[in-house]
Amino acid sequence: MMDVYVIGIGPGNPAYLTERARSIIAACPVLAGDRRMLAPFEMEGKQLVATYKMEELRQLAVSLLPDGGPLAILVSGDVGFYSLAALVKDLPGCRIHRIPGISSLVYFASLLQTNWHDAYIVSRHGRCDSLTEAVRHHGKVFCLTGGSDTPAALCQTLCHAGLGQVRVAVGCRLSYEDEQVTEGTAEELAGCPEDDSLAVMMIWNDGARPWQRPVHGLPDESFIRGNAPMTKQEIRSIALSRLAPSPDAVVYDIGAGTGSCTVELALLVPMGEVFAFEIDAEARTVLDANIDHFSLNNVTVVAGNAARTLPDVTAVPDAVFIGGTKGNISAILDEIYRKNPACRIVMTAITVETLAAVTAYYAARHDYILDITQVMTARSRHIGSSHMMMAQNPVYIMTAVCKTAPDGERRTSCPQ
């Protein structure tokens, strides 16, 4: 068995390597990792392999068997903090060891002379964690930036959400000689030149309020309206209570229309993500307007026929709301279950044909439970000094769950 060491090198400056990491690097003839991490060891006579791609690392390990090694794979920061180390596992013929380092969070908090145990952590480095909602509901937030999500761009997002006065510290090139820390409000830093994309941020919001699960079923008048149909308040409230997504869930809204359900789902999953699928261009215009009206930054609009666009979305859904399918219900359900067989799905329909198509689909899927509720409501209308009740269209609300819960427990009915 060959020993493979995944070593957290800290913020980057070799002075911050632990003694344990330093001694293992000295004993390894082959080092792999990003060029920046390998640079300090160029003059030490070792074989340096500049890659962070998992398949190339696997091929390197195999090439060193059986007489090669040990191999050191260098990763930035700490091996347990948004690290490549999580992917380095199950290498044939290898024993894998993790050697911890100093994370950017620990280093930056020390630089700012603040604690980090009370910081809420968000990553925008290859991820889409919601910074706005994290700052809105936490007094201290640490954020890893990356790509187009530079500190300036993220400060602009905070300003757009009405959080321009929160205090922000930005750290660039941490631990190096040209290390730079900039402090100010989000409004002040939003106009700064584009920063190092691998910068970090610490954000303080003295007016943060703990997140409370919102009551769903906003009044219809809360939304910008268009010509496309909108799921009415009463139906929306019942349907979303059946879906019951967790705050960090990935949710699909298929047939989003003008966005009433999209908006409410985004409010229900402040730390999660909503993908709104809509084919009609006019409806998408109103959908975008509603997303902007509610200052939401955890919604991605997917244009086109969902039966064709679903495979292009790589985020795996935890829950799906279906309000319209253009007659493609079977293809859509197949693709959802291909992504996540345990996905919870709630569907609404006003025609018996759609109801028949859904019941026929699940009649052939014995590993799922389908619950059907018909809802009929009436709204009052003023007739002089009196009120007259006006019936609304009856709506079928269908909930489908996998018989085997994530914890392995067998279900016999849909959880309410």
Give domain status of residue 309, yes or no. yes
For 319-360, how does the pLDDT look when each residue is reduced to its tens digit (9 = 90+)? Answer: 999 998 888 999 999 999 999 999 999 999 999 999 999 999
My answer on whether 250 and 358 are in the same domain is: yes
My answer on whether 74 and 18 are in the same domain is: yes
My answer on whether 293 and 373 are in the same domain is: yes
My answer on whether 144 and 77 are in the same domain is: no
Which residues share a beta bridge with 299?
Answer: 274
**402 near 388, Cβ under 8 Å?**
no
Mean pLDDT of all residues in 40-60: 91
Give domain status of residue 411, yes or no. no
My answer on whether 294 and 372 are in the same domain is: yes
Domain of 149, CATH number, reads 3.30.950.10
pLDDT at 90: 81
pLDDT at 18: 95
Of the three residues 102, 128, 146, the one that is the final residue of a domain is 102
My answer on whether 361 and 328 are in the same domain is: yes
Give domain status of residue 249, yes or no. yes
My answer on whether 78 and 175 are in the same domain is: no
My answer on whether 367 and 290 are in the same domain is: yes
Of the three residues 204, 228, 255, the one that is the final residue of a domain is 204
Distance CA 370, CA 99 (A): 49
Contacts of residue 28, Cβ cutoff 8 Å, sequence gap at least 6: 5, 46, 69, 70, 71, 72
**317 near 250, Cβ under 8 Å?**
yes
Contacts of residue 351, Cβ cutoff 8 Å, sequence gap at least 6: none
Distance CA 125, CA 146 (A): 4
Residue 295 CB coordination number (10 Å): 13
Domain of 361, CATH number, reads 3.40.50.150
Give domain status of residue 327, yes or no. yes
- Name the band, by pLDDT with cuts 50, 70 and 90, for residue 102: very high
Structure tokens at 9: 């090198």
My answer on whether 243 and 389 are in the same domain is: yes
What's the pTM value of the predicted model, to 2 decimals?
0.68
My answer on whether 293 and 151 are in the same domain is: no
Give domain status of residue 410, yes or no. no
Distance CA 156, CA 106 (A): 26
CA atoms lying within 13 Å on the CB side of residue 111: 24
My answer on whether 269 and 354 are in the same domain is: yes
Look at the chain and report how many structural domains it folds into: 3
Give domain status of residue 131, yes or no. yes
Give domain status of residue 25, yes or no. yes
Tell me the DSSP string of 163-230.
-TTSEEEEEESTTSTT-EEEEEEHHHHTTSPP--TT-EEEEE-TT-----PPPP---GGGS---SS--
Expressed as residue numbers, the domain containing 16 is 2-102
Domain of 81, CATH number, reads 3.40.1010.10
- Name the band, by pLDDT with cuts 50, 70 and 90, for residue 108: very high
Distance CA 123, CA 198 (A): 11
Give domain status of residue 416, yes or no. no
- Min mean pLDDT across 5-19, 203-217, 282-296, 357-371 is at 203-217
Of the three residues 54, 71, 102, the one that is the final residue of a domain is 102
My answer on whether 231 and 251 are in the same domain is: yes
For 362-400, how does the pLDDT look when each residue is reduced to its tens digit (9 = 90+)? Answer: 999 989 999 999 999 888 999 988 999 988 889 999 999
